[in-house]
Structure 1
Amino acid sequence: MSTALHTAAAWRTSVDDAPVALNTVGGLIAIGGADGTAWLLEAATGQPRGTYLLPGGMLDVALSPDASHLAVTGPLGYGVWQVESKQALLHKSGRWSARVRWATQDRVAVADGRTAVVLDASGQELWRTVAAPSTVTDLAWLRDGRRLAVTAYNGVYCHERHQAAPVTTYPYGGSHLAIAVTPNGRWICTGNQDSSIHIWRARDGAELTMSGYPQKVSHLAFDSTGRWLAADGAPEVTVWDFSGKGPAGTTPRMLPGHDGVAALAWRPGGSGVLATGGREGNLFLWRPATGRPSRAMSPLRTWAPGSEISALAWTDPRHIVVATRDGQISCLPVDIA
């Protein structure tokens, strides 16, 4: 039987919007709201540090690795701010901007319609990719920030720094919704509109497709070791083992209990603990490595905030922040060894 998380949160607060994204860096929490407001909070106390507005709504938020800058994206473009001064470095493109990913504290990539644009911390454009076959849906940095992977229709397009045309393409027909890359860059995975996960081995392009999901796969996350890949796409969260020669011919761990998965986040530090948030309003904590392939597991901990979970993030190995669709933000202590 599962044990509840601490019912007494470290702190709780609320925002006047529906949160769609969370990011935590350096003692700060960035919260992106659907209507276009981003909030910065102190991770230790939940006290506000500032608000930032992106006209047209918001899809993603990300703090730079040193927490000095905030970048956000939305349906009508993207923006960058200096956190302390709140100086706006806004690039309102008028195009759908789905994702933002920092490589270093002075280099960030944002999706800008069918291209990806790389900016420095002052908001100046460094370089831009050629147009992809469709709107860019996700981004990932490889090789310690020296290569940018872009997902769009029909595959993954990899760009070296300052090179507009892709140097490597990993093709797979259809619409790619999310990308996850192992920390060592060995495996590249996408979650897809056709209810599949497609996998490439980066060094030679060898491919594998895990199909048969009942729904589209839009959330993927590797743990910090690169061994375990968690994915939505079914009532059960699936966790695939990438050790050895990879997941070919294997079956995943099965983590049941959600009506629909809204967020996945591995605990920092390589402990093997996975947090999952569901649209039915449950937060579960799991240790997938203790389970058996194709067998349903029980969570280590559960918590029900009373409303649909929309985003979650770990502030450190002992605390997790959970946002619900009605604007409630809770920081929960976690006592798993």
Structure 2
Amino acid sequence: MSVSSVEAALAWEVSVDDAPVALSARGDLVAVAGAEGTVRVLDAAFGAEIGALDLPGGALRVALSPDAQHLAVTGPMGYALWRRVDGRTTVRESGAWSAAAAWADQERLAVASGRRALVLDADGGQLWRTEPAASTVTDLAWLRQGRRLAVAAYGAVRGHERHTEQPVVTYPYVGSHLALAVAPTGKWICSGNQDASIHIWRTRDGSELTMSGYPEKVSRLAFDETGFWLAADGAPDVTVWDFAGKGPEGTAPRSLRCHETVTALAWRPGAAGHLASGGDDGTVALWHATAGRPEARLRPARTVEGDGAAVAALAWAGPHLLVSAHRDGRVRAHAVPSRTAL
């Protein structure tokens, strides 16, 4: 490691018998999903396994509910739900590509299912669904405290209110959306796109902005907890855009250079502006991502070497524990210093 054990102590390490593709951390749990559909639910403090399920056809995303009592996993052939109290698993092999799941609160979640989004209760009962989009739903997110659902598919991001099959607002963009990020303030909706751009809509009036010129497709976007900072891949540098005030129009991002290829992004809980990034070389970097001036190129505050196995996913289990999943099956948790330091 390039960080001393005092600065980023290894809290635990486990291995799973599937190549990880996604992580989720809520409350006292961490869930890791593998490419072949194996999902392990771990105790965040010690790494001990407390639950498991399998999704036929493989997994793409995993999402724990806010109260850590339920879990959703999505994949190419459908989705599955897990209940903590008794380990009950409900598998829906719909045959439809299910790219993502997002919890509105501890009782409701949305699941992408082919060209629709399904809104379910925590046990899988369907509450309502959207009308079919023009193509497969690639991502979705809640805003307005779970009262509106943003659904991304080719050509547009559409907003649906509760029980409204047809969209109440449409944000058009001719292109393929790969990732969706909604500011916690509800002020902005952003999409990372196949055409190597980030497209932004202001929800209040629908005004829009495109940040183009990335050398690669933008497939990872993440707002910090304040909603003022957006991190994105699409280049060897991670770019961090300032959304305070009137937003990023006419500004330049900060650039964070550590990895040849960025494979994961995760903001630390809180307002300190700390970001974790992962790369295909197995390195995890910790950043004061909002330091410096626009156009600044920042160096990592800390790095943790991962023995060469690419980082598949990152998640913060609270403000002091950073979990990384590596493609060789290792899942590691590092204790990170206080929010005011890295």
TM above 0.5: yes
- Tell me what 2:74 maps to: 73
Instruction: Show the 5 A alignment for 1:1-337.
Output: 6=7, 8-306=9-307, 307-336=309-338, 337=340
> What SS does the corresponding residue of 1:238 show, helix, strand or coil?
strand
Output the CA distance in 1 between the equivalents of 2:4 and 2:247.
34
Give distance in 1, aligned partners of 2:270 and 2:258.
25
Mapped partners of 2:290, 2:127: distance in 1? 42
Q: State the secondary structure of the residue aligned to 2:251.
A: coil
Paired residue secondary structure (1:203):
coil
- Structure 1: where are the runs of 5+ without partners? none
What is the CA distance between 1:226 and its match in structure 2? 0.6
Shift of 1:292: 2.1
8 Å Cα contact 2:16/2:329 also seen in 1: yes
Name whichever of 81-90 and 323-332 sits farther off: 81-90
Which amino acid in structure 1 is aligned with residue 281 of structure 2? E
Q: CA deviation at 1:262?
A: 1.0
- Return the letter of the residue paired with 2:167: P
Cα distance in structure 1, aligned partners of 2:205 and 2:187: 10
SS class of match (2:297): coil
Amino acid at match of 1:218: S
Taking the aligned partners of 1:130 and 1:110, their CA distance within structure 2 comes to 13
Offset of residue 268 of structure 1: 0.4
Partner Cα separation in structure 2 for residue 110 and residue 244 of structure 1? 33
Partner letter of residue 322 of structure 2? I
Q: Secondary structure in 2 aligned to 1:10?
A: strand
Asked if structure 1 preserves the Cα contact closer than 8 Å seen for 2:8 and 2:336, the reply is: no
Aligned 8 A contact 2:3 2:304 in 1: no
Determine the C-alpha separation between the residues in 1 that align with 2:4 and 2:78. Answer: 41
Q: Is the 8 A contact 2:8 2:335 kept in 1?
A: no
Aligned length: 336
Structure-2 separation of matches of 1:19 and 1:265: 16
The C-alpha deviation readout for 1:10-53, integer Å capped at 9, x for no partner, is 11111001110100111000000100010000000001101101
1: CA distance, partners of 2:285 / 2:38 = 28
Name the SS for the 1:46 alignment partner. Answer: coil
Distance 1:161 1:25 in 2: 25
* Whole-Å separation in 1 of the counterparts to 2:100 and 2:260: 25
The answer to whether the Cα contact below 8 Å between 1:3 and 1:300 also exists between their aligned partners in 2 is no
The alignment partner of 2:252 has SS state of coil
Q: Percent identity?
A: 60
**TM-score where L is the length of structure 2:** 0.96
Shift of residue 68, structure 1, vs aligned partner: 1.2
8 Å CA contact 1:115–1:131 kept in 2: the answer is: yes
C-alpha distance in 2 between matches for 1:107 and 1:331: 29
Alpha-carbon distance, 1:8 to partner: 4.1
TM-score w.r.t. structure 1 length? 0.97
Contact 1:90 1:123 in 2 (8 A): no
Read off the aligned partner of 1:311 and give its amino acid letter.
A
Secondary structure of 2:295 counterpart: coil
Deviations, residues 247-271 of structure 1 (Å, cap 9, x unaligned): 0000000001211111111000222
Q: Distance in 2 between matches of 1:252 and 1:106?
A: 37
**Displacement after TM superposition at 1:84 (Å):** 2.6
User: Structure 1 stretch 196-205 or stretch 6-15: which is displaced more?
Assistant: 6-15
For 2:11, give the aligned amino acid. A
Once the two structures are superposed, residues 175-199 of structure 1 have per-residue CA deviations (whole angstroms, 9 ceiling, x without a partner) of: 0111111111111110000000000
2:201–2:207 CA contact under 8 A, matched in 1: yes
